[in-house]
Amino acid sequence: MKNYSSEIPGAYYILGDKYFDKRGTFSVIWDGQPLNRFCVAESFYGVVRGLHYHTCHSNDRIVRVTGGKIFDVFLDMRLDSPMFGKYYARLEASGALFYVPRGVAHGYQVLSKHGARVEYWFSDGYYPECEKTVLWNDPYLSIPWPLQDPIVSDKDAEGKLFVNSEYYE
């Protein structure tokens, strides 16, 4: 991430880091205090991202769809929750804003032909050693993803089955 000074003390312009892969792009817009981490994913039609969560340095997340339409999924990984092991899914369009608490895995599939843009605000930094992935097409969960043959990252394709995952305590 690069910061460009302005003539106003303490005010500056930010150019985030942008990463490209077969699904589209992922940009780190902000990573530090006081806001911690702000990221943007721009994904192509059919892409599935997730189901992601953290077991250590876990994050509360605010997620906003700023372009396109997605099929959004929350999966409760919290052992002490009455919804443990259950998912909630719904269609979300541009303008949707939602909160994902610690211990809840999140994922989505892009349904717009022109792709989708999703922004994330995280309460903590990024710790790759803490990130976990539940397999998006786990037969136990039977999530009804709307589109067949999605574009999925190698990491997400190698996610663990729910029964073999680390749960959030």
Residues taking part in catalysis: 52, 120
Q: Cα-flanking dihedrals φ and ψ of residue 129, to 5°?
A: -70, -15
Q: Which residues contact 157 (CB under 8 A, 6 or more apart)?
A: none
**Beta strand 97-100 pairing with 61-67:** antiparallel
Q: How many residues does the chain have?
A: 169
Between CA 136 and CA 73 the distance in angstroms is: 10
Burial class (CB in 10 A: 0-12, 13-18, 19+), 64: middle
